[in-house]
Amino acid sequence: AENTLADIVSHAKEYGFVFPSSEIYDGLAAVYDYGPYGVELKNNLKQLWWKAMTQLNQNVVGIDAAIFMHPLTWKASGHVDGFSDPLIDNLDSKKRYRADVLLEEKAAEYENAGDQARADALLAEMGRLLTAEDLAGVKQLILDEKILCPISKTANWTDVRQFNLMFSTQVGAVAGDSSQIYLRPETAQGIFVNFLNVQKSARQKVPFGIAQIGKAFRNEIVARQFIFRMREFEQMEMQFFVRPGTEGEWYEHWKETRRRWHEVLGLPADKLRFHDHDKLAHYAKAAVDIEYEFPFGFKEIEGIHSRSDFDLTQHQNLSRKKQQYFDNDVNPETGKPYGNYVPYVVETSVGADRLFLATLCQAYQEETITEGEGDKQQTKTRKLLRLHPAVAPIKAAIFPLVKKDGLPDKANEIYNALRHDFRLVVEEKDSIGTRYTRQDLIGTPFCIAVDHQTLEDDTVTVRHRDSREQTRMPISELHGYIAQAVSP
């Protein structure tokens, strides 16, 4: 049977991956906390991304910019005027909806009923109205489609209004317009405003990139689907600065590079697809989403955008500081250096939390297994996380077979020899079968059993999570064995 999102949510909670925020107060909508295994898994994903972007590319360097930025940043980026969702309220239920989401759900209904043409037509009409900012038209479409409030089964809608998604707060002691600032809704702008600082201090030449991992905040209205859409989330973004005219090649390069990265870490090719944006933002030359097939359908996990010189030019205009680069490579057509220009940008932007959710959905499996021999043979269901060892929270669990005869000491000796390089645990309690089960549930790829033979010949039994096969191995080989498995 297919796993549902509910299975994932309850597994994540029960086994220490993700908890609702402030749960003892009944939680806070669309905000979540990562538990002991969740934080390890998320850190692994972030470190692997960071390594793939910076360590493996000499021409990509990192920064860590502040969450608070000068308010003009968001004027320049277009977020003050344009970063909004069309909202509509139902007067009976007093529930608030995103108008575009109501229409998308209606289109999905047509699609599921086999009427693709009608679904496409509805989405096209919605796109046209939203682009033209015809909010009255959007409301009319909702009425024409006879969309009812899902709660009260009525169509008693207000007008559609644009609602800005940025959270604002005050700096300093005095509240007022001049001290209003925003929590950043994306990490990208911290990169753009530091473009020249980074280029000069790290002595980079175009083409080069700047990578950043950090929190972003959006006052999302439709907060559903667990950590897929959060109000506080984490982004991993890279802006790649290129000479105008070369952005097409770099766009293709990063599109393929990023897709391969997801595949290497365990998202299978048949559950990933590219989805080209039909409607492009006014500054964009091309934009594509990498989508993963979640239990609730194919949805975006990463965006790759060819953004032209829009952002740097906007910052140049508002800050009145030149955002230019002098390129002394010789242009073969003119025989002279390319000279001064505002670079073009190709961006890759992935949500750490969405990637986490995709990873968890992919890894979570329930399978039927047969255990024991002869009369004692029995069939049971096994739940496990088939995580790539590189992302697994715990790389190996060490089990002394019994709590005596010096076996726990031997287990701790192995732990101490390996703990500097790998996240490990030693578990002494319960039967060995129960201990295996517990590790399967959190996705530990290897369990190392220490028995009486270990004391004689320094070998251990390594049990493999996915196949449940066991192999005997000298302790001296463990390090190399785990190291190989956890490198992607």
- Which residues are annotated as part of the binding site for substrate? 98, 186, 233-237, 347-351
For the chain, give the number of residues: 488
- Nearest distance in Å: CB 302, ligand ATP: 5
How far is 262 from 258, CA to CA, in rounded Å? Answer: 7
Burial 89-101 (b: 16+ CB within 10 A, else e): bbeeeeeebbbbe
Structure tokens of 395? Answer: 């790389």
Q: Which of residues 176-205 bind ligand ATP (CB under 6 A)?
A: 186
| Complex with ligand ATP: residue 215 or 452, whichever CB lies closer | 215
Q: How many whole angstroms separate alpha carbon 150 and alpha carbon 219?
A: 22
Does the footprint of ligand ATP cover residue 410 (CB under 6 A)? no
User: Residue 47 or residue 412: which is nearer to ligand ATP going by CB?
Assistant: 47
Q: Does 347 bind ligand ATP (CB under 6 A)?
A: no
Q: What is d(CA 305, CA 239) in angstroms, rounded to the nearest whole number?
A: 9
Is residue 218 part of the contact set for ligand ATP (CB under 6 A)? Answer: yes
CB 327 within 8 A of CB 293: no
User: Given the complex with ligand ATP, which of 207 and 303 has the nearer CB atom?
Assistant: 303
Smaller CB separation from ligand ATP, 288 or 449: 288
Output the six-digit token pair for 295: 């239990």
Tell me the three state secondary structure of residue 414. Answer: helix
Binding residue positions for ATP: 218-220, 228-233, 300-301, 351-354
- Residue 473 bridge partners (DSSP): 460
Q: Among residues 349 and 362, whose Cβ is nearest to ligand ATP?
A: 349
341 backbone dihedrals φ, ψ, rounded to 5°: -160, 160
| Residue 306 sits in the site that holds ligand ATP (CB under 6 A) | no
> How far apart are CB 352 and ligand ATP at their closest, in Å?
8
Q: Are 239 and 63 in contact (CB under 8 A)?
A: no
Q: What's the one-letter identity of residue 198?
A: V
Q: Which residues contribute to the annotated binding site?
A: 98, 186, 218-220, 228-237, 300-301, 347-354
Nearest residue to 71 (alpha-carbon basis) of 158, 165, 180:
180
- Per CB under 6 A, which region of 205-213, 295-303, 320-328, 431-439 contacts ligand ATP? 295-303
Of 350, 411, 478, 486, the residue at the interface with ligand ATP (CB under 6 A) is: 350
Q: Judged by CB, which is closer to ligand ATP: 349, or 439?
A: 349
Least CB distance to ligand ATP at residue 349 (A):
4
Distance CA 290, CA 139 (A): 31
| 21 vs 319, beta carbon nearer ligand ATP | 21
For residue 374 the two structure tokens come to 């002869």
Pattern of binders to ligand ATP over 83-112, x per CB under 6 A? ------------------------------
Residue 370, token pair as written in the block: 């047969």
Peptide bond into 36 cis (omega under 30): no
> In terms of CB distance, is 354 or 435 closer to ligand ATP?
354
292 binds ligand ATP (CB under 6 A): no
Cβ 157 vs Cβ 88: under 8 Å: yes
By CB under 6 A, tell whether 164 contacts ligand ATP: no
CA torsion, ordered 423, 426, 431, 435, to nearest 10 deg: -10
- Return the number of the residue (360 or 384) whose C-beta is nearest ligand ATP: 360
Q: Between vectors from CA 286 to CA 280 and to CA 288, what angle results, nearest 5°?
A: 90
* Min separation Cβ 418 and ligand ATP, Å: 34
Tell me which residue has its CB nearest to ligand ATP.
351
CB 255 within 8 A of CB 306: no
Tell me the closest approach of the beta carbon of residue 416 to ligand ATP, in angstroms: 39
Shortest gap between Cβ of 261 and ligand ATP (angstroms)? 14
- The helix/strand/coil state of 97 is strand
Minimum Å gap between C-beta 258 and ligand ATP is: 11
Q: Does 302 bind ligand ATP (CB under 6 A)?
A: yes
List, in order, residues 6 or more apart from 165 with CB less than 8 Å away: 83, 84, 85, 185, 218, 219, 220
Which pair of tokens denotes residue 298? Answer: 């194919």
**Residue 220 in the binding site for ligand ATP (CB under 6 A):** yes
Please work out the total of residues on this chain that contact ligand ATP, with binding judged by CB under 6 A: 16
Q: Is 125 in the site for ligand ATP (CB under 6 A)?
A: no
Minimum separation from the CB atom of position 458 to ligand ATP (A): 47
As a whole number of angstroms, the distance between CA 73 and CA 87 comes to 25
Question: Residue 351, interface with ligand ATP (CB under 6 A)?
Answer: yes
> Whole-number minimum distance, CB 30 to ligand ATP, in Å?
8
Q: Which residues sit opposite 46 in a β-bridge?
A: none
Candidate segments 9-17, 33-41, 70-78, 351-359, binder of ligand ATP by CB under 6 A: 351-359
Does position 354 interact with ligand ATP (CB under 6 A)? The reply is yes
Phi, psi of 359 (to 5 degrees): -60, -45
Instruction: Give bridge partners of residue 330 from the DSSP assignment.
Output: 337
29: three-class secondary structure by DSSP? coil
Give the x-and-dash track for 226-265 against ligand ATP (CB under 6 A).
Answer: ---xx--x-x------------------------------
**Alpha carbon distance 120, 140 (integer Å):** 18
- Residues near ligand ATP (CB under 6 A) are 186, 218, 220, 229-230, 233, 235, 300-303, 349-351, 353-354
